[in-house]
Structure 1
């Protein structure tokens, strides 16, 4: 079958995103070796039990051959009964050993899978947020779902079955050699074709399955984008474009699936066609040998049964070879998450003060396309800064840099003289925190959701934090108060209530600098105004950077930064900027007029 060694190339990810890295196969083998050494006891027990079961299964054909020779040359009924009893005994012994071997294999596989999952989750939680955002949700989602499922099959069943098959084949070959050295020769006939097709398959399968997973990630990412932005798609009339994008992703996924299917169609039929050959040759050579007196009828019988018996484990090895390739590709993608370079390196320096300084800050999501162009900004401890400007001007990007989520492409953002990217994450979150308009409610109680930044918080501290954001009243009205289950399958919170919980977490976290990225955007204007006033009393003395779409936030701030085209176009107090008659004055006049009319 003519087939390219590598599958057709595909884009790294959809929409020009950067895919998360994939581990190399030497790294995968190294990791598998580490797991095997770490769980050596379970692995040895599993292989040992299966080896004993295989060994017990080898006695039946030899005893049956002995019985045939005995009957042919004359024997007693007692001898026959003894042989039959031994055959039954070894069959029962093999059954019992196989049962406990499978239990041991299940324990080993589940242990390996649990460790892999725990390692993957810990690696994901350590990923720089900037990397996750550039990769998109589809890549990470497909690794945490589809790849974990594929690896689960390989770890639970594929690996133990393959190890058992190898042990069984080796023991059976030994048993064949004991019957007669000639009995091994028919096996050698199938070695060249199976080795050739196996080599052909292994040369192409890893790249094929990696490409298949990458295309699946693209498809998942596109579907997730369409579902999440369904209202926007409908409002802008982009349904046809999204359908075409999905069709393109499905075609790419179909091409990848077809490539690996062609691999399997070339591998399996060729391998399976070789199974009948050794048995037929054993019968042919054995029959000729028996006619010429070279072998006894019992030897021919035992050799034929062994040859037939060995085909099962060989079939298992070849059948699971494909699943192991899928599992290997999945493991490479899971381990690849650890290959993401850190976006920060702790210097060990401690901030001297709480002033924040941004100098010549530039940032690019895509190389060569700057979003921020040389931003300079100084924030003194306790100052309130509001950032306003049109959508897409770079407000949220600058806010994320000031919160230490992203590191600047050029320039620096420092607090107390230490760049944010040189602070350990635990220290950074104790210095600066970001609250945006997207808030996740975890499955658990209200209290468990609020105390995420400080699990040791007391009941009084939790209530004070909720009261600070005007959430205590509705929390106490819940069926079980702070112990009410929320999130998945729990009590459903409104978007405004979810935001209030996020702000309550912020109060408990107690950082000295806060970046609020339209943190009250989902609360109605009057409630938001009341919430912001209540929050202001709690945050007294802290540095606050508020990215606002409601200009009353700017009115209350010490200074206002107008961001346009990735630069700070104006900077000053509300009164100063209104008096200058610039861009901010126009925004204020327009917004204030609408606000007055609306009220």
Structure 2
């Protein structure tokens, strides 16, 4: 496998559409830097006019002997230069900042879209905060480098080239002496760059760890408070923050140590020009005006190099962040969509044939499972924790693929189907209901954004949600909090059921759909399910057996295999695992024990 390319080369290749804007931004920076250097030449020329009069360079070029006229011409040139410098500075800033913002937007959007496509197992193996740090903080760091760091690098390089040209045209001796400190600076820069790279990689790593800790704790505030663990979690955040601060401190110390080195180089170069150039001017070997230009130019040459430390800082932060973002984009999903569509009409029949499945490199959770849900029937899956119920649903929804065997929808292997064909035919209600921040209506219509108000209300009625929605302050326009925190568990469950029903799916998949509701709400949902599942293929996982007693067939899983299957009455009469679970839940075993 080829090693990853340098981040800047990869960005150049990835965002070809922005190349013209980048070229124009560089051109404006070049013109701006040229205009920035010209005023020193104008000052030197003005001093030459004052000192030499009609023998000045301006007099020779223009053929004008009057000194005031020469100065007036120089003043006019200076005005034009300043106007051009101001205009190109404005254009360069707009172009560079616009480019940085555009790349930031595209990269974040692309990275987020890519993250959505990655397998659930990939997300489960990582912290949400770590992923957020890449999508937010790392993209911002790259934007800052493109906005500030890259233009500065170009300006400094141009500055060295232009000032070097002026020195070379004036005195090769002074050119060599003035440029002697630059190799020291370049070598020092390369050394510092190598030293800073791992330091800033550690900064990004600790930032991701801190973000992950904060995100996890904010999501678990009720648990933290319930166990009076506020102090302990504050200490945990403090440790993560301290690690981030320490990593930053080490990086800052290394980058800050570079500036004193550059200042010594500037001092050496400036002192050389001041003394040797002045000596040459006193001996008449160097014109006074040119001497003043070179003195100004020495500072112009070397002083901007004091920004090298900050530029290296921005560069290393930007590249460390770019590597993390581009590394994220190089992650590949193992579960990819097929291209087939389902034959119409979609009936929603599900078949699992000799399926083996598990998580990552762990043992099999499902071991040669065979199961069939004929079109139009309601089938339930029950069993103890760890029996493989959730894994079965993940396979049907194709959140993961089996290690062997087949999962079929209407006789077609789900691996051959497009996402729209597969998931567009399924209505899913998860045990952990997720509601987005927005109105009740928006949440119900999430699967069908173009649904009419009448269809939304009909779905809410079918899920026994209409009455409580109407009682909310703004009815269907009521905004629910993040994750629906302003609603009860039962209310969230009913809205999730309404969201699934609005799609009018061929297959309804319910994962503990009544797990968070009270008995009255469960009875209401049961009534609605009896209506909406009539003639509709339904696969439900349930812990409460009372919710599945009317299913056409109940599959009892144990150890990743089908222990028994049948109707409720058949399974109870057999006296097996299902009958034992039913006895526990209905209290019959307790009553029998008490009677004994």
Q: Same fold (TM over 0.5)?
A: yes
Tell me whether 217-226 or 188-197 shows the greater mean CA deviation. 217-226
Structure number with the bigger relative contact order (C-alpha 8 A, sep ≥ 6) is 1
Pairing 1:534–2:528 present: yes
Mapped to 1, the partners of 2:564 and 2:212 lie a distance apart of 38
**CA contact 1:404–1:432 (8 Å) conserved in 2:** no
Q: Cα distance, 1:527 vs. partner? A: 0.5
- 1:274 is paired with a residue whose SS is helix
Output aligned runs, 1:9-88, within 5 Å: 25-26=4-5, 28-34=7-13, 37-74=16-53, 76-84=67-75, 86-88=77-79
1:543, CA displacement in angstroms? 2.3
Aligned counterpart, 2:349? 355
1:100 matched to 2:94? The reply is: no
Name the CA shift for 1:25/1:259 in 2 (closer, same or farther; >3 Å): farther
TM-superposed CA distance for 1:349, in Å, is: 4.2
TM-score normalised over the length of structure 2: 0.86
SS at match of 2:587: helix
Distance, in Å, in 2 between the alignment partners of 1:583 and 1:189 is 87
Residue in 1 that maps onto 2:119: 128
Q: Which runs of 4+ in 1 moved over 6 A?
A: 233-245, 594-597
Q: Does structure 1 residue 338 correspond to structure 2 residue 335?
A: no
TM alignment of 1:122-201, pairs within 5 A: 122-201=113-192
Distance 1:363 1:263 in 2: 50
CA contact (8 A) 2:337 2:416 kept: yes
> For residues 496 and 391 of structure 1, what CA distance do their matches in structure 2 show?
23
Give the aligned partner of residue 498 of structure 2.
Answer: 504
Q: Is contact 1:35–1:112 with CA below 8 Å preserved after alignment? A: no
Query: Which residue does the alignment assign to 1:11?
Result: none
Partner SS state of residue 295, structure 1:
coil
CA distance in 2, matches of 1:423, 1:130: 20
Q: CA RMSD in A?
A: 3.3
Q: Which residue is equivalent to 1:517?
A: 511
1:473 maps onto 2:489 in alignment = no
Aligned with residue 395 of structure 2, among 401, 413, 416: 401
CA distance in 2 between partners of 1:584 and 1:490 (Å): 35
Distance 1:103 1:230, change over 3 A: closer
Q: Quote the residue 2:284 is aligned against.
A: 293
SS in 2 for 1:371: strand
Q: Any gaps of 5 or more consecutive residues in structure 2?
A: 55-66, 592-596
Contact 1:197 / 1:271 at 8 angstroms: preserved in 2? no
Matched, 1:546 2:550: no
1:329 paired residue number: 320
Aligned residues: 575
Instruction: Give the Cα–Cα distance (whole angstroms) in 2 for the partners of residues 409 and 218 of structure 1.
Output: 33
Give TM-score, length-normalised by structure 1.
Answer: 0.85
The residue number in structure 2 matching 1:575 is: 569
- The answer on whether the counterparts of 1:51 and 1:168 sit within 8 Å (CA) in structure 2 is no
Q: Indicate if the aligned counterparts of 2:459 and 2:499 stay in contact, CA closer than 8 A.
A: yes
Aligned to 1:279: 270
Distance 1:242 1:585, change over 3 A: farther
Structure 1 gap segments, 5+ residues each: 1-22
Secondary structure at the aligned position of 1:294 is classed as coil
Give distance in 1, aligned partners of 2:536 and 2:295. 85
Identify if the C-alpha distance between structure 1 residues 136 and 292 changes in structure 2 by more than 3 Å, giving closer, same or farther. same
Distance in 2 between residues matched to 1:226 and 1:110, nearest whole Å: 31
Q: Secondary structure at the match of 1:556?
A: coil
Mapping 1:200-219, distance limit 5 Å = 200-219=191-210
> Could you list the per-position Cα deviations for residues 441-490 of structure 1 after superposition, in whole angstroms to 9, with x for gaps in the alignment?
33433333222222232232222112111222333444554444444699
**Counterpart Cα distance in 1 of 2:373 and 2:281:** 98
Shift of 1:506: 0.8
What residue number does 1:415 align with? 409
- Matches of 2:329 and 2:407 in 1, distance apart? 26
> Secondary structure at the residue paired with 2:565?
strand
